[in-house]
């Protein structure tokens, strides 16, 4: 998608995502020249003569860790303004999203196409980075499902392993040490750099831990403030900071004129389920014994998988959740051109019609605008529950059916 769609059309692409998700490595594959601004000599040159540095860099240029020499973005702006159409894919920029806090001086508006990148998808981990389940859900012929060979324990292992390239293959102890170091770097250095101030590491970590405990639930800033023992305003600003760091994701509520009494609170998810499990101090065995927590992390696992695929869909698609004051709810609502695909995520190995009640309610409300519904569960067999509603293995999110 990046090479075929964006780099062939736009002169500058801004890739954002959490530290350690593989931005630099992945984007380096598309670059002829790499400017790593964390390197002292390169950083000094970019500060002193950013226009000259870019002019001397041939082909497609990856500007990594731009925040180390913010002057480079002004040079990109000038280069794009001077000739915005002559060199598609000229600049790929990665690094901090601090610009969200510096809107008055941000030179990228209208010039940089923003792309979000998270960790590896399960498809990439299985060496298949082509299949997009969201496009399959919306296909005219309808999705196809197959039996899965994965057990519930396999899903639990994938959840706690997370998606970061440097951690997925490590031992449990090695993974724990890696996440400890990652969190320390995040709250001690990255947060201060993005915030442009001095957030207090201990309190920021407490807010992050609260977000992990509440992953997959509706955002409640007052409860998070209480959990972390901070003022509500502090909790609010730290949640925004964690979102800027791409560590948490907020899934907005879906609204429709056809539906009444809908709640307007977003859901919160930790962007990496392995990080959430580490913050909660659970491994696969402990997680499997906690019925509440396993449900939350199964949902976070599925939502973050889908969120990654949103960046590569064939047609623009949005992701929401639904909950109304009468108790009807749906974990995931995907909307494309007025058509809706709805998903429920269950950690259990068996499901029945009662697990699809939210999907049935939504289908009956939306009628022809409801394209498809599925209960994603940890069982092995796909089967139809009702009209346009199926129960399917969770692995359907990354394993393409063999036709």
Non-local (6+) Cβ contacts of 198 within 8 A are 192
Instruction: Provide the 3-class DSSP secondary structure of residue 321.
Output: strand
Instruction: Provide the 3-class DSSP secondary structure of residue 188.
Output: helix
pLDDT at position 99 over 70: no
Q: Lowest-confidence range among 7-11, 64-68, 283-287?
A: 7-11
pLDDT of 217-260, one tens digit each?
999 999 999 999 999 999 999 999 999 889 999 999 988 766 77
CA distance linking residue 245 with residue 199, whole number of Å: 13
CA distance linking residue 236 with residue 246, whole number of Å: 16
What pLDDT does residue 98 have? 56
pLDDT at position 175 over 90: yes
Q: 270: closest CA among 385, 179, 152, 367? A: 179
pLDDT of 334-370, one tens digit each?
999 999 999 999 999 999 999 999 999 999 999 999 9
Cα separation values, 109 from 3, 9, 76, 80, 238, Å: 21, 17, 12, 12, 25
pLDDT of 141-152, one tens digit each?
777 788 999 999
CA count, 13 A, side-chain hemisphere, 378: 20
pLDDT at position 106 over 60: no
CA distance linking residue 51 with residue 343, whole number of Å: 49
Does residue 59 contact residue 28 with C-beta atoms inside 8 Å?
no
Joined together, the tokens standing for residue 326 give: 């009468």
What pLDDT does residue 349 have? 96
Joined together, the tokens standing for residue 146 give: 């197959």
Domains and CATH numbers, the chain: 2-116 (3.40.50.300), 122-397 (no CATH)
State whether the Cα torsion 158-179-268-297 is positive or negative.
positive
Can you count the helices (H) and strands (E) in the chain? 16, 14
326-330 mean pLDDT: 89
Cα separation values, 146 from 132, 157, 175, 325, 355, Å: 16, 22, 32, 36, 20
Categorize the per-residue pLDDT at 403 as very low, low, confident or very high, splitting at 50, 70 and 90.
low
pLDDT at position 171 over 50: yes
Cα separation values, 399 from 10, 103, 200, 345, Å: 31, 41, 43, 17
DSSP codes joined into one string, 364-401: HHHGGGEEEEEEEESSS--EEEETTEEEEEGGGGT---
pLDDT at position 107 over 80: no
How does the average pLDDT of the chain come out, rounded? 89
CA 39 centroid distance within chain: 28
Does residue 249 contact residue 269 with C-beta atoms inside 8 Å?
yes
CA distance linking residue 57 with residue 32, whole number of Å: 9
Cα separation values, 117 from 14, 22, 59, 147, 312, Å: 10, 8, 23, 30, 10
93-110 CB burial, b ≥16 within 10 A, e <16: bbbbbbbebeeeebbbee
What pLDDT does residue 257 have? 62
CA distance linking residue 396 with residue 150, whole number of Å: 11
What pLDDT does residue 264 have? 85
CA 13 centroid distance within chain: 18
Q: 274: closest CA among 120, 394, 398? A: 120
Categorize the per-residue pLDDT at 292 as very low, low, confident or very high, splitting at 50, 70 and 90.
very high
- Do β-strands 339-345 and 329-336 pair in parallel, antiparallel, or remain unpaired? antiparallel
139-166 mean pLDDT: 90
Cα separation values, 239 from 36, 48, 232, Å: 29, 35, 10
Helical pair 201-213 and 232-244, crossing angle rounded to 10 deg: 80
Categorize the per-residue pLDDT at 65 as very low, low, confident or very high, splitting at 50, 70 and 90.
confident
Q: Is 12 exposed, middle or buried (0-12, 13-18, 19+ CB in 10 A)?
A: buried
CA distance linking residue 323 with residue 264, whole number of Å: 8
CA 85 centroid distance within chain: 30
């Amino acid at each position: 998608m990046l090479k075929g769609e964006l780099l062939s059309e736009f002169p500058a692409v801004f890739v954002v995502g959490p530290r350690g998700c593989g931005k630099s490595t992945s984007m380096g594959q598309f670059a002829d020249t790499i400017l790593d601004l964390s390197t002292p000599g390169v950083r000094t040159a970019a500060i002193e003569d950013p226009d000259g540095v870019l002019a001397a860099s041939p082909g497609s240029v990856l500007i990594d860790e731009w925040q180390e020499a913010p002057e480079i973005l002004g040079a990109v702006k000038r280069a794009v303004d001077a000739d915005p159409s002559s060199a598609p894919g000229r600049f790929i920029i990665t690094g901090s999203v601090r610009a969200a806090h510096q809107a008055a001086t941000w030179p990228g508006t209208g010039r940089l196409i923003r792309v979000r990148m998270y960790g590896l998808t399960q498809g990439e981990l299985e060496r298949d980075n082509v299949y997009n389940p969201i496009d399959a859900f919306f296909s005219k012929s309808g999705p196809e499902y197959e039996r899965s060979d994965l057990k519930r324990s396999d899903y639990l292992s994938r959840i706690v392993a997370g998606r970061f390239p440097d951690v997925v293959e490590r031992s449990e102890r090695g993974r724990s040490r890696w996440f400890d170091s990652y969190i320390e770097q995040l709250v001690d250095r990255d947060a201060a750099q993005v915030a442009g101030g001095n957030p207090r590491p201990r309190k920021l970590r407490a807010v992050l831990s609260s977000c992990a405990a509440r992953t997959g639930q509706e955002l409640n800033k007052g409860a998070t403030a209480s959990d972390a023992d901070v003022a509500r305003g502090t909790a609010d600003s730290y949640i925004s900071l964690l979102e800027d760091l791409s560590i948490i994701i907020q899934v907005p509520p879906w609204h429709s004129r056809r539906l009444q009494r809908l709640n307007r609170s977003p859901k919160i998810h930790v962007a990496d389920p392995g990080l959430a499990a580490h913050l909660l101090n659970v491994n696969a065995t402990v997680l499997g014994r906690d019925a509440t927590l396993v449900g939350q992390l199964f949902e976070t696992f599925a939502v973050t998988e889908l969120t990654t695929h949103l960046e590569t869909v064939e047609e623009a698609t949005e992701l929401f959740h639904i909950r109304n004051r009468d108790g009807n709810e749906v974990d995931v609502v995907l909307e494309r051109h007025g058509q809706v695909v709805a998903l429920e995520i269950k950690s259990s190995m068996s499901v029945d019609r009662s697990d699809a009640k939210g999907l049935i309610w939504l289908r009956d409300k939306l009628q022809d605008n409801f394209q498809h519904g599925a209960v994603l569960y940890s069982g092995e067999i796909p089967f139809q529950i009702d009209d346009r509603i199926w129960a399917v293995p969770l692995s359907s999110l990354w394993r393409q059916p063999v036709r």
